[in-house]
Amino acid sequence: MLDKVKELIGEVNEFQANSPEAVEDFRIKYLGKKGLLNDLFAEFKNVEPASRKEFGQALNTLKNAAQDKVNTLKDNLESADEQKGFYGDLTRPSEPIELGSRHPISIVKNQIIDVFSRIGFTVSEGPEIEDDWHNFTALNLPEYHPARDMQDTFFIEKDPDILLRTHTSSVQVRYMENNEPPIRTISPGRVFRNEDISARAHCIFHQVEGLYIDTDVSFADLKQTLLYFTKEMFGKSKIRLRPSYFPFTEPSAEVDIYWGLETETDYKITKGTGWLEIMGCGMVDPNVLKNANIDPTKYSGYAFGMGIERIAMLLYQIPDIRMFYENDVRFLEQFKTVL
């Protein structure tokens, strides 16, 4: 009889259950009114007196082991149910992770940076809240210069010397003040102009401006750089430069690329000419070099600048510049596949 009790203790210790029903069946089998323990306690009177102590101890061990096993299994199953209820069915496949997308302005900006970085241009940045010197005066736009009217400016109230920068040329001035030639840098960033918002214009937009200063820099160097850029960015190999005016460059030019007339959209965006303006450029005015403490008799350079929104509108055929700033998820999701 003692051997049977010891065998039951081993079975109790090894028993496992995956459901409350199995635990209840186990409890009834050992601890129920008609369970094995009741039968064994009833047999206690038939045990020889010399073995009763050892037999009684074994029965108590079996009872305690059975009760502990029931309690442990119940706790484990309840914990599993709580975890399942909190996290859901852990065996189910997970929900697909929604991939975000880069903003088209960020995509185009990164592409422009990548193109120019391959020919040695570094990236420089500066403050969006500027002073008059870096935004205007150092760029050959002294006070009361009529060309200041070309850029409707947001001035900071109570301090007419502080303003929101109207171009990233101010970053170039700061860079020239703190670095000696040769200088080869591009300055991407956000700029602000007090303009009416429409499908083609906004009071906030983004620019990338480039600057190269060294000895014996010529307009031919500028043209070759721009031709390289248009080939890499647009796949277009035909450009033209039209004379223009910018206070900080002399001579100055507007850059057009031949977009073509293959589709109805091409006719629309080029107004039937096939040519499309993409940026302004020119040789850095000697006065700008002087203002940045660079000797214009020793060094020369070129500069160029373009609007990132305009480039993005061309590449992705976006008809309205306001779409960049509305945060419409339907619009942004179209760029998920673009790196």
| pLDDT 10s digits, 203-252 | 999 999 999 999 999 999 999 999 999 999 999 889 999 999 999 999 99
CA–CA dist 310, 317 (Å, integer): 10
CA–CA dist 250, 282 (Å, integer): 6
pLDDT digits (tens, 9 = 90+) for 129-148: 999 999 999 999 888 777 67
* pLDDT at residue 35, rounded to an integer: 76
* pLDDT at residue 338, rounded to an integer: 66
Say whether both 111 and 28 belong to one domain.
no
* pLDDT at residue 112, rounded to an integer: 96
Please check whether residue 94 lies inside any domain of the structure: no
* Alpha-carbon distances of 237 from 130, 226, 229, 262, rounded to whole Å: 37, 10, 9, 16
Say whether both 78 and 109 belong to one domain.
no
* pLDDT at residue 30, rounded to an integer: 73
Segments forming the whole domain that contains residue 81: 2-87
pLDDT digits (tens, 9 = 90+) for 42-88: 776 676 777 667 767 776 787 788 888 888 888 887 776 655 555 55
Say whether both 115 and 27 belong to one domain.
no
Please check whether residue 92 lies inside any domain of the structure: no
State pTM to two decimals. 0.70
Say whether both 139 and 272 belong to one domain.
yes
CA–CA dist 182, 221 (Å, integer): 14
